[in-house]
A = this chain, B = another copy of it.
Amino acid sequence: MTASEHPRMSDVARRAGVSLSTVSRALRGVPGVAPEVRHRVEQAAMELSYVISRGASSLVTGRTGRIAVIAPFLQPWFFGVAMAGIYSRLRSTGTDMVVYEVGDTTALSSYLRTLPLRRNVDAVIALSLRPADEELEHLRRLGVPVVFCSDEVDGFPSVFIDEAAAAADATRHLLNLGHTRVAYVQARDDTGFSWHSRQRVVGCRKATADAGLELVVVTAKTGIDGGALAAAELLSLSDPPTAIVTETDDLALGVLRTLERSRLAVPGVMSVVGFDDQETAALFDLTTVAQPVYDLGAQAAQLALDVLDGTGRTDTHLQLPTHLVVRGTTAGPRPTSSLAGPSAGESS
């Protein structure tokens, strides 16, 4: 893409028989250009297949027309969906989306430290990512436009769900069904426990506490395999639970796998609730908490856009609704709640 081959604004100016600044004005659609002239300029630009060099204009305007999305991972379901949501809003304004993966804490902080200085983007959307407090303080002081998506952060525009309440809903569903021994599978990755993670246990614990019960918590690596291991751990307890809530659908799928391999009927012997409601949840007939991930992304993008055009305020906190989707993996506990009994193998 050798720069020399592209027509420049002066080429358009010459062809339209006007000055450089007139072309600039005409093409940007600012008022103060005679309609006839504007048309001539557009014509010329079209004939030359002229497209403006954003780099050059951002050098003077200070705006890049780009927004960064930073995420701990690129691969998991959540991020793909959220990005699709973000992109949907961005595309309509012609804003480009540049993506960074900041898997571990050091990558994140090093990104954030150089952020205000690299004028590579106009704003940042942090996807399910919470920087350390001192980083946040630093960003706040600098007044850097960062929008948090799927996390609520003081002093920054944020879009999120009520994690604790959603998790509590799921737990209460189980409690109302009559379960008295409920376990929670918490995910931890290399970054430690995410914000989600911490909020969701709190919600579950509150729900069980309100019922005068205790919550059994085990931690697991993220993903299906992590869930499978966690379930094995729970099953080896001296007094196993009769219901399991997991932090994500992936974990629930793993739990289901272990259960099936152990020939423990679901929901006969064990009830399972996930979180996310991704496509596979329906496939497995998994009861789960649905969260509007696409919208989370779209709204975050909107907030970022608002901040950029001055419409936005840093204290916009947007909470999106979740709802429990009850499917076939939850039911009341068996009268005799021992895990001993024989049980039919369940579906594949």
Contact = CB atoms under 8 A, between A and B. Distances in A.
Interface of A: 1-7, 49-56, 58-59, 62, 64, 66, 73-77, 79-81, 83-84, 87, 91, 96-101, 113-114, 116-123, 144-145, 223-224, 250, 253, 256-257, 260, 266, 279-280, 282-285, 347-348
Given A75-B80, A76-B80, A120-B54, A97 B99 contact: yes
A149 to B, nearest CB: 15
Given A74-B83, A101-B84, A119-B6, A145 B1 contact: yes
Given A3-B62, A101-B91, A145-B1, A348 B284 contact: yes
A49 B118 CA distance: 10
Contact of A98 (B96, B113, B280, B284): B96
Nearest to A50: B117
Contacts of A250: 279
- Copies of chain A in the complex: 2
Contacts of A74: 80, 83-84, 87
Nearest to A228: B283
Contacts of A114: 51
Contact of A66 (B3, B7, B98): B98
